[in-house]
Amino acid sequence: MMLAGWGRYPRAECRVVAPHERDELIATLAAQNSLIARGNGRAYGDSALNPDLTLALRHRDRFIAFDDASGVLEAEAGVLLADILESLMPRGWFPPVTPGTKFVTLGGMLAADVHGKNHHKTGAIGDHVESLDLGLGDGSVVRCARDDNPALFAATLGGMGLTGVILSARLKLQPIETAYVREETLRARDLDETMALFEASRDWTYSVAWIDCLARGPALGRALLYRGEHARRDELSADKHGAPFAVPARRARRVPVDFPGCALNRWSVAVFNRIYYRHGRPGTAIVDYDRFFYPLDAILEWNRIYGRRGFVQYQCVLPKDASRAGLTALLGRIARAGAGSFLSVLKLLGPGRGMLSFPMKGYTLALDFRADAASLALLSELDAIVAAHGGRIYLAKDARIAAADFRRGYGTLDEFATVRQAVDPGHKFASLQSLRLGL
């Protein structure tokens, strides 16, 4: 079938197999020459595409065990984050780390070693995995943990499915008292103020900024910064005390058609950004978890607003010391091109963990571009800026970077290659992305 990632670019005709039982899955691993795992297809580009065989794991979604005392969940890799929230939040448990959508699988989160708004305090999802079972290309299954096959464990977290197929994992959740978040919104007039607000928010569990990517001159880098803490029960209004995990149902809307390519243009993006910035209300509010963590999930198939040709998300991270200069150069170039997106996100990350995992201590910027020739040429220019400042790009968002530019960003690639060579010397696990990048 024709498959694509969330950005709908690129698309590829792939043979898809969806084994139901573990034995069937393991036999498939042993029998194939080339394959890649696929969760819920929320990576933006070509990391879950293999024309020879794409292994659909979404329906392998059983919960295996949950310990109410420790918060450790053991589940199959196809379990959706949305299912974890629905089942375990009412019991007072929340994922330790969450990306900006709940429509991702456990396996996909581990393979991308996803980070959330709390990375500066809590690290990436891999920091909260106790162990995982990995299916290898010879049909064997190995358990990996910090003290059991530690190198393979580290390479698999962030390894984008290139070390094997994660069959199941044990993840430690965090306790919460309510399904609500105390959110504070702050407005920053330029990049210096935005970065100062991140520094001032170090002790907050969650922080993230929406940045006006088309603001120029003295307004370059202006932003709304949101920071939050899980609300305690005594912070809720009296009507919610009795049911602290009950959240009003949110009516999801669906984008009904592909927007025409021309809907997203310099003018519409600039107007949206100006209005969004002006209407952001500084202040404090108690908001439900869905609004705080997953605002985009309220609009189903929002990826259609970029039109039929699809879009690419550009996410890079710059080392802390180089962040101010690098962000100034990136935002300046994007604003000059007038090519930015409705939602551009800035976040301060904590230290990373090496191998293929994306985070490093510094600022990460993420924004969308229509997949057309002009944008792709602009993104190559951005790659040069990122490389010149010692940064790197995120594989889970990538669909187009050149191999040489990618490699410059990841100093631990050799370490990753050594681990992979030991378990998959023939590079059976391969995606269009890994082939493009020579991984």
Q: 3-class SS at 333?
A: helix
Using CB under 6 A as the binding rule, whether residue 102 contacts ligand FAD is answered as: no
Measured distance between the N- and C-terminal CA atoms of the chain, rounded to whole angstroms: 25
| Least Å from the CB of residue 147 to ligand FAD | 21
Q: Is the peptide bond before 10 cis (omega within 30 degrees of 0)?
A: yes
Question: Of the listed pieces 106-114, 212-220, 224-232, 249-257, which binds ligand FAD according to CB under 6 A?
Answer: 106-114
Residues 395 and 358 sit within 8 Å (Cβ to Cβ): yes
Structure tokens at 331: 């935002």
Residues 48 to 77: which contact ligand FAD by CB under 6 A? 48, 57, 77
Residues 153 to 182: which contact ligand FAD by CB under 6 A? 160-161, 165-166
Using CB under 6 A as the binding rule, whether residue 343 contacts ligand FAD is answered as: no
Residues 212 and 223 sit within 8 Å (Cβ to Cβ): yes
Question: Of the listed pieces 102-110, 270-278, 284-292, 333-341, which binds ligand FAD according to CB under 6 A?
Answer: 102-110
Question: Closest CB to ligand FAD among 122 and 240?
Answer: 122
Residue 241: enclosing H or E segment and its boundaries?
helix 238-241
Using CB under 6 A as the binding rule, whether residue 38 contacts ligand FAD is answered as: yes
SS3 of the chain: helix, strand, coil, percent, to 5? 35, 25, 40
Q: 3-class SS at 407?
A: helix
Question: Closest CB to ligand FAD among 117 and 240?
Answer: 117
Q: How far apart are CA 317 and CA 274, in angstroms?
A: 25
Structure tokens at 14: 């792939």
Question: In the block, which residue shows the tokens 């571009």?
Answer: 369
Axis crossing angle, helix 191-200 with helix 320-337, rounded to the nearest 10: 140
Residues 38 and 54 sit within 8 Å (Cβ to Cβ): yes
Q: How far apart are CA 44 and CA 53, in angstroms?
A: 19
| Least Å from the CB of residue 109 to ligand FAD | 6
Question: Closest CB to ligand FAD among 132 and 195?
Answer: 132
Question: Closest CB to ligand FAD among 128 and 240?
Answer: 128
| Least Å from the CB of residue 130 to ligand FAD | 17
| Least Å from the CB of residue 301 to ligand FAD | 11
Q: How far apart are CA 310 and CA 371, in angstroms?
A: 6
Structure tokens at 266: 């310099």
Binding map of ligand FAD across residues 234-273, x = CB under 6 A, - = no contact: ----------------------------------------
Residue type, 283: G
Using CB under 6 A as the binding rule, whether residue 99 contacts ligand FAD is answered as: yes
Using CB under 6 A as the binding rule, whether residue 312 contacts ligand FAD is answered as: no
The only residue of 28, 29, 42, 122 in contact with ligand FAD, by rule CB under 6 A: 42
Question: Of the listed pieces 85-93, 112-120, 216-224, 255-263, which binds ligand FAD according to CB under 6 A?
Answer: 112-120
Question: Of the listed pieces 30-38, 84-92, 246-254, 371-379, which binds ligand FAD according to CB under 6 A?
Answer: 30-38
Question: Closest CB to ligand FAD among 75 and 195?
Answer: 75
Question: Closest CB to ligand FAD among 220 and 398?
Answer: 398
Q: Nearest Cα to 194, choosing from 347, 79, 418? A: 347
Q: 3-class SS at 149?
A: coil
Question: Of the listed pieces 18-26, 40-48, 137-145, 219-227, which binds ligand FAD according to CB under 6 A?
Answer: 40-48
Using CB under 6 A as the binding rule, whether residue 123 contacts ligand FAD is answered as: no
Residues 171 and 63 sit within 8 Å (Cβ to Cβ): no
The only residue of 4, 43, 186, 423 in contact with ligand FAD, by rule CB under 6 A: 43
The only residue of 112, 154, 378, 419 in contact with ligand FAD, by rule CB under 6 A: 112
Q: How far apart are CA 275 and CA 287, in angstroms?
A: 22
The radius of gyration computed from the CA coordinates of the chain, to the nearest angstrom, equals: 21
Using CB under 6 A as the binding rule, whether residue 6 contacts ligand FAD is answered as: yes
Binding residues (CB under 6 A) for ligand FAD: these are: 5-6, 36-43, 47-48, 57, 77, 99-101, 104-105, 107-109, 111-112, 114-116, 160-161, 165-166, 296, 396, 431
